[in-house]
Structure 1
Amino acid sequence: MTPTTHVRRKAVVTGAARGIGAAVARRLAGDGLAVGVIDLDEADCAETVEAITSAGGAAPAVAADVAADVADEVAVAAAVARIGAAFGPPTVLVNNAGVGPRADLVDMTTRQWDTVLGINLNGPFFAARAVCPHMVTAGWGRIVNMSSISAVGDAGRVDHAGAKAGLIGFTKSLALQLGPQGVTANAIAPGFVVSDMTGASARRLGLSFEEFRHRAEQSIPVGRVGLPDDVAHTASFLVSPGAGFVSGRVVHVAGGPVD
């Protein structure tokens, strides 16, 4: 089953206040979807919605903002319910919210471990659990989980790597379970993408962002670092009706092969 062309699809994008999440939300709105944006800060959410609704285009953009901590299952369920009340049950979910602080294993606190897994792994579970019933009812749905090339290992961020690797297993399991109901699930694993997170990495290393970016470019086959829109283009395809035969896959948006 595919959604009819005259029905506007509805999407939820978490971590959509800035960076990759904001780019994905803008792109999906540009594709004609109604987009509900979820992030921790209400004002930041509102900025993304304003960017969407003021962009113009052939059809009026529809967007709604909800502030919620994705690590809080009650807050996530309430946010999805509010978005559904705003413009109808969502059948597209992009789990983008994530954090990635750096700490050596022996210096990592239990609180940091729990925080990173709570946002990066529990959050997608809570959101999928809230949205999937709408997809099953519709007989159609798309889930995109934002993993990372860190999933193959990342010295100094065992919490982040563990969560992102777990997210890949979660994605493949969703694809197996929900495929018969017309729902696909895929993961995107970005490499170096210009963002607050890569900016923080540069500062930790005592480098200017320009120098940090230049060093990264030397190891990327296409000769440049990624931009949020690079990830948004991929998400746009994976949530489209035309991607119905792509499920359970990890798409590396990294400018080259990833081992």
Structure 2
Amino acid sequence: GYRYELTCSTIMFKQIAASSLTKIFFMARNVREEPPENLYTGRHLAEFTQLDVEWGEAYMEDVMRLVEDIVYYAWIKTIEESYNILKEFRKEFPSMRPPFRKITYDEALSLAKELGYKVTDGKELSQEAEEALSREFKEPFWIINFPTSSRGFYYLETFDGSGKNRDFNLILPEGFGELVDGGEREYRYGQIKERIKALGEDLSKYEWFMEALKDGIVKPSAGFGLGIERFTRFVLGLKYIWEAVPFPKPPGIAPTP
């Protein structure tokens, strides 16, 4: 037989595709080895659908505006066409009109501390802290410029030496948490080589990608992934994400057909 492994991220593949095609999008079915305890977050699935987008020669701000347009259009269109259904699930309909507020990672860290959560600089916010921030806001908001140390090697670092990335998460209000993750991509061979070494990873795992970088095939790009079931959960105001999809596969639960 053959040995198969789960793909950790499609970002490198997206970078190469966008370098040739400039703009790409696709609906990706994802299988993720979620720890069983993530069942209790109400927003994780072992199998889920994601809108993947990559835009060659684009900046972070370009794709953030695109996300805002997509989310707002989908929200308004759904209300217009299915209000009688939605009102059975939702009592209130928050404003989703762009532009959405932006806060930096450092500002998010400070807000989480004010809310009584223990957070560590240079690390991702805990799910509990992120959810608490989400409950504090009545509209979607961006968290931007995460620490380089907390993210994968494929994000582009800012040029001010702050140790932050040109990246973002879109957080939904009402405690629904993260919907979108994305940013500008690192495309320079030397920088990625150093980042992989700093993370203690084996360079040979990425030999195909490193060769593409060395040959100048990979161009600057920016992109994102948007969770379809997470957005459906928010639109309907559902407590659990597995209510937003037929035949769900929640973490730690016996597999469904």
Q: TM-score range by the shorter chain?
A: under 0.3
TM-score by length of 2: 0.28
Structure having greater relative contact order (Cα 8 Å, sep ≥ 6): 2
The answer to which structure has the higher strand fraction is: 2
The higher radius of gyration belongs to 2
The answer to which structure has the higher helix fraction is: 1
